[in-house]
Structure 1
């Protein structure tokens, strides 16, 4: 395996509407601005919207990879913003839940890209369905996005609970989005921390950043342009750039923790054969 493993992390959430895909797009943009080779995987397979946020119309998407033998290099779309995307399909029921063969096909296809990228950002769907859990198990780090809304908090806790109790995942990065002020953001994080500490022993939460509510974000969505391209000095972009800097300190590791990892299929299967 390549000694310089890509850092693979998910941007995930317990509920929709928390700005998760906007976070993914702008982290990809900021990391690419730092000279990193970034691939953004739209893993909300049945309700893809990365392409909508960017105003692009890729010729191929993951449906073609799974069903029409299109190569992963053909599916990859190079954006004008310095990063590439692996687009998914929208409104295709066959993509709502990947079967075992499709999961292995995706892992095998991703192996080809191992030495070509520094960061793989996996923008998952929301909730606790099979695809969301699968992609959160396949990554090295999980960035959980939540907002001050009570439903966002309870659904974030539900995702952590399932990952912890059913899959043994106990470490999460947290990003509070659309925060009216720092005090509110810290209170939200504290509530999540206290709930996990009380009911889910051993869970570790690390607050990566607080993104303030920013009207520039809506303008960026309407113009189908990354916020940090449209308004680099806006309050939200400043904090997204800070979060991206923190991510550059995350270290990819070759140690397996019992879960399938992107790019690690060969190593995983080797260990299984030895056992």
Structure 2
């Protein structure tokens, strides 16, 4: 199993939409994918998919169910661990809650090829916790200066806290490839100047497309809603890239994932 955290620093950059469509793209490549909605107090994945799971993470944290019990299989071929919505106490996990999740992860995650933590915006304790837990980290930003500033802040805080050095970047809502590359190189320049220990690579550039808004309103992944749109082809390219990268290196076993967790 390969695990990714997907973070943004700033809200409103299309992070959850990216996660959902990437999960769908990989599932179309015959991969078993699980999305863990790690925005625990403000769930978004279920809303964007138009689903109403009977159980969510609250039932695990109160001891009623296990993580495996609340996995929801969507009609799109990937699965979801739902978060709660409007639940203040979920916005910061305590040590006992983290240990409870730890004890159940191997059984819940082992059937899957990919695990995506869809992390909330900002730099809260939950954001840093799930970022450290994953094997790899994807950061999403847009051409807006505030998005670039918040992405830099996220990278800085996570490095200062955990010394994590390597990140993949997605530039979303770009006017064209040139703008996407410009945004990447602007952030790269700042990082090389002030945080030279950090290494970032460009995973992909996603164009601005009105069909994304229409797909979100219809609560349908844009890979389904507008399969011929340029952004749909781009997300498929990223899915292929991730799959090819996994095949070129030795696959990480679940035990390594659990070792990272136990070290937190």
Q: What's the TM-score once normalised by structure 2's chain length?
A: 0.94
Whether contact under 8 Å (2:24, 2:77) holds in the other structure is: yes
Within the candidate set 222, 227, 231, 2:226 is matched to 231
Q: What CA distance in whole angstroms lies between the structure 1 residues aligned with 2:93 and 2:227? A: 37
Whether contact under 8 Å (1:107, 1:262) holds in the other structure is: no
The answer as to 2:178 corresponding to 1:200 is no
Shift of 1:73: 2.3
1:164-191 Cα offsets, whole Å, 9 max, x none, are: 1221011000000011111111111001
Aligned alpha-carbon RMSD (Å): 1.7
Q: Against the structure 1 CA distance between its residues 92 and 262, is the aligned structure 2 distance closer, same or farther, given a 3 Å change threshold?
A: farther
What's the counterpart of residue 160 of structure 2? Answer: 165
- Residue segments in structure 2 that go unaligned for 5+ positions in a row: none
1:186-236 Cα offsets, whole Å, 9 max, x none, are: 111001101110000221101000000011101110110111011122111
Whether contact under 8 Å (1:10, 1:121) holds in the other structure is: yes
Which deviates more from structure 2 when the two are superposed, residues 105-114 or residues 233-242? Answer: 105-114
The alignment partner of 2:258 has SS state of coil
Q: What CA distance in whole angstroms lies between the structure 2 residues aligned with 1:147 and 1:239? A: 16
Q: What CA distance in whole angstroms lies between the structure 1 residues aligned with 2:97 and 2:30? A: 32
Shift of 1:264: 3.4
Number of corresponding residues: 259
1:33-75 Cα offsets, whole Å, 9 max, x none, are: 1000110000001111100000000000001110142122221
The alignment partner of 2:224 has SS state of helix
Shift of 1:262: 4.0
Whether contact under 8 Å (2:106, 2:254) holds in the other structure is: no
What's the counterpart of residue 9 of structure 2? Answer: 14
Whether contact under 8 Å (1:212, 1:236) holds in the other structure is: yes
The answer as to 2:179 corresponding to 1:184 is yes
Q: What's the TM-score once normalised by structure 1's chain length?
A: 0.90
- Residue segments in structure 1 that go unaligned for 5+ positions in a row: 1-5, 270-275
Within the candidate set 147, 151, 164, 1:152 is matched to 147
Whether contact under 8 Å (2:56, 2:70) holds in the other structure is: yes
What's the counterpart of residue 252 of structure 2? Answer: 253
Structure 1 segments of 4+ aligned residues over 2 angstroms from their partners:
250-256, 261-266
1:62-106 Cα offsets, whole Å, 9 max, x none, are: 011101421222211010000000000010011010011111211
What's the counterpart of residue 55 of structure 1? Answer: 50
